[in-house]
């Protein structure tokens, strides 16, 4: 999805040399990515909500700290894959909006990755709850 003012969204400030300034720049880029994802991708907004809701749910449903961690991380994994899928789609849309079978295949494969991550997360949650 193209933002209204794409050029002003990301400003090339040059690469930070090293150390703390590099980490600060990386954190700033990550925050920009989160803002962009929230503004442009409904799936990212929904998955962040699910991630936030999964924390108290996991605490309530199971006693084991390790199982809780696995449950929460499985939802985080879905969000990570969704972010990567959105990055792939944004890149492909930037290159060309023309219909192309390879572009469609890349987007479909990204969608498949999200689906598989969701199946992975649901499987972990089902097993964790059944074992509790």
Q: Provide the annotated active-site residues.
A: 82
Rounded to a whole number, what is the largest CA-CA distance in the chain?
Answer: 52
The angle, 0 to 180 degrees and rounded to 10, between the axes of the packed helices 65-95 and 101-131 is 170
Alpha-carbon 102 to chain mean position: 23
Q: Output the six-digit token pair for 113.
A: 């990755």
d(C-alpha 60, C-alpha 71), whole Å: 12
Alpha helices in the chain (DSSP H): 6-9, 19-40, 42-61, 65-95, 101-131
């Amino acid at each position: 999805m193209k933002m209204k003012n794409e050029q002003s969204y990301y400003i090339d400030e040059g690469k930070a040399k090293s150390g703390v300034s590099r980490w600060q720049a990386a954190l700033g880029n990550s925050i920009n990515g989160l803002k962009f994802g929230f503004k442009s991708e409904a799936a990212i907004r929904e998955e962040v909500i699910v991630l936030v809701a999964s924390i108290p749910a996991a605490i309530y449903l199971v006693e084991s700290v390790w199982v809780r961690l696995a449950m929460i991380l499985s939802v985080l994994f879905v969000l990570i894959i969704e972010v990567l899928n959105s990055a792939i789609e944004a890149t492909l849309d930037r290159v060309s909006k023309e219909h192309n079978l390879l572009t469609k295949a890349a987007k479909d494969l990204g969608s498949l990755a999200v689906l598989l991550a969701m199946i992975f997360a649901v499987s972990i949650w089902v097993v964790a709850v059944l074992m509790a």
